[in-house]
Amino acid sequence: MIQIEAAPEEIYDIELEHSLLEANAKLAKENRALLDRHGVTAIDFMGAIGSGKTTLITKLVEKLKDRFGIAVFNGDATTSSDADQIAKHGIPVVQIATINGCHLDANLVGKACQKIDLSKLNLIFVENIGNLICPAEFPLGSKARVVVVSVTEGPYMVRKHPHMFLGAEVVVINKIDLAAAMEVSVEDLARDVHTLKPDIKVIATSCKTGVGLKEVAAALVAV
Amino acid sequence: MHELSIASAIADHVVEFAESFNPPKKILGVRVLIGELTCIEPEQLKFCYDAITKETSLEGSVLEVERAQAEVFCRHCSYRGRPKFWDEALSDIAVATLQCPSCGKAADPISGQDCTIRTIRYAE
């Protein structure tokens, strides 16, 4: 193969300042504007696989469905098992299959918004993919982001995934009925969260005993 | 692995630029700006870029990553500058927080969230 190299005077640099996350950010703003026009508040739930996002959303739906029109968007890489569980409560559920994608994006959420009648809704709970890194970079158009961590994920959960908390408004520390067995301190986890972001709301919950669920519901209705 | 989707977005944009000329420009390199407050790993981003540009018109072009420092503004005490870093976190790299280094209350990020293509280097 013959290779020729460009002489320095033949090399050019073009300045662009092209933002790579802007396309998603723009769609997120459009989603937000659409939801605002219909008076709908979307809340994005992020957290690891097994942190209890689906169970928490199910419990919140039970508590709030008589007072509010609620829909759930359920992000899942492959299955619809979570969506099926929530759909039993007779509310609109949209399964968003990312086909192995590691996060939801604003485009997918925008498409999900077209599948339901927004005029009948007040709240949409968006369950993100079980992943604690990627979703942080991709706003969806929600009014608040909730991070669900559980004591079963160990004592260093928050320190290991700091980025996720910087963009969130509410942190739910879940499965506190298991804290003693796991030898994990809920107070230490909460302190780590506040070290990262002092004004974030932290609520300790157990979906098994029901403790804290009322506070989460109240916090989400108030955003 | 959101680095892969970001690397694809970079490659798509660069190809679009190259092909906007007739004949297409030969791309030598791309320089991107990645903020300290993002969770985008520069080494992984370069690895993904090299992997996806292999056997394409971009093969051999070099992705360079420039880091943008984080800065925060505190609406409580009007502090503006570098954030407070969490040294005792488990990482070797200090973790940037949104706690005001001056008064300890919540600060807002004002820079360091960049993920931008700055320049494309090409040959005539």
**How many Cβ pairs closer than 8 A exist between chain A and B?**
103
Q: What is the mean pLDDT of chain A?
A: 90
User: What's the CA gap between A4 and A27, in Å, rounded?
Assistant: 43
pLDDT of residue A75: 85
Strand A11-19: give its sheet, edge to edge.
A11-19, B115-123, B26-35, B62-68
**Cβ-based contacts of B6 with chain A (< 8 Å):** 20
Element (H, E) at B50: helix B42-53
Q: Closest to A12 (Cβ–Cβ): which among B91, B116, B124?
A: B124
pLDDT of residue A3: 61
Q: Tell me the DSSP string of A52-111.
A: SHHHHHHHHHHHHTTTS-EEEEEEESS--HHHHHHHTTSS-EEEEE-TT-SS--HHHHHH
Residues B39, A20: C-beta atoms closer than 8 Å = no
User: What's the CA gap between B94 and B111, in Å, rounded?
Assistant: 17
User: What's the CA gap between A217 and A15, in Å, rounded?
Assistant: 48
Closest by Cα among A30, A25, A16 to B117:
A16
- pLDDT over 60 at A63, yes or no: yes
Residues A20, B2: C-beta atoms closer than 8 Å = no
Percentage of chain A surpassing pLDDT 90?
65
Contact in structure between B122 and A12 (CB atoms under 8 Å)? yes
Please state the rounded mean pLDDT for residues A18-40.
92
pLDDT of residue A100: 62
Bridge partners, A73 (sequence order):
A94, A126
Residues A20, B105: C-beta atoms closer than 8 Å = no
Residues 6+ apart with CB under 8 A from A104: A44, A73, A75, A96, A98, A126, A128, A129, A135, A138, A140
Restricting to A residues 12-31, those with a Cβ less than 8 Å away from any Cβ of B are: 12-21, 23
Pairing of strands B80-81, B71-73: antiparallel
Percentage of chain A surpassing pLDDT 70?
95
Cis peptide before A139 (omega within 30 of 0): no
The torsion of the CA quartet A88, A93, A99, A103, rounded to 10 degrees, works out to -110
Q: Closest to B2 (Cβ–Cβ): which among A103, A162, A198?
A: A103
User: What's the CA gap between A63 and A94, in Å, rounded?
Assistant: 20
A189: DSSP letter? H
**pLDDT tens digits along B39-81:** 888 999 999 999 999 999 999 999 999 999 999 999 999 999 9
- pLDDT over 80 at A80, yes or no: no
- Predicted ipTM? 0.78
**pLDDT tens digits along A208-218:** 999 999 999 99
pLDDT of residue A67: 95
A118: DSSP letter? G
Q: Given pLDDT bands bounded at 50, 70 and 90, which one contains residue A105? A: confident
Contact in structure between A41 and A141 (CB atoms under 8 Å)? no
User: What's the CA gap between A45 and A60, in Å, rounded?
Assistant: 12
Element (H, E) at A17: strand A11-19
- pLDDT over 60 at A1, yes or no: no
Residues B39, A19: C-beta atoms closer than 8 Å = no
User: What's the CA gap between B50 and A170, in Å, rounded?
Assistant: 38
pLDDT of residue A77: 67
Q: Closest to A10 (Cβ–Cβ): which among B5, B13, B124?
A: B124
